[in-house]
Amino acid sequence: MEKKEKPLEKMTAKELREMALGLPGVHGVTAMKKGELIAAIRAAKGITEPEPKKEKLIVAKKEKVILTASQLKQKVKELRVKREEILQQRNWKMAEILRKRIRRFKKMTRRAA
């Protein structure tokens, strides 16, 4: 059975150098970087470069709004009032969400100070 080789990109630079030393037409192997070694080995063996993988589309998030410590404290006060109203309505889930937002804003005020 034939031994299957690792893909060139997964090999270390040391392994690539050892492989390139045995190939005809490849010179200056010890000074080459990994990318150069891969290109030289592909050229010597006549291997075409694989197509690059398609990039994933990344959805841009909202732009960050930078607030001062006093603006953050004002937001905390507003959220506390809103949370009290929601607790009066007995909407426990929304109250929990607002509690977490308040905690997040309080942490941000500590960092801003």
Instruction: Kindly report, residue by residue over 43-94, the tens digit of the pLDDT.
Output: 888 887 777 666 554 444 566 667 788 888 999 999 999 999 999 999 999 9
- Fill in the DSSP letter of residue 53: P
**Cα distance between residue 59 and residue 92, in whole Å:** 32
Please give the model's pTM, rounded to 2 decimal places. Answer: 0.43
Report the alpha-carbon distance of residue 33 to residue 2 in Å, rounded.
29
Q: pLDDT for 18-38, tens place per residue?
A: 888 888 888 888 888 888 888
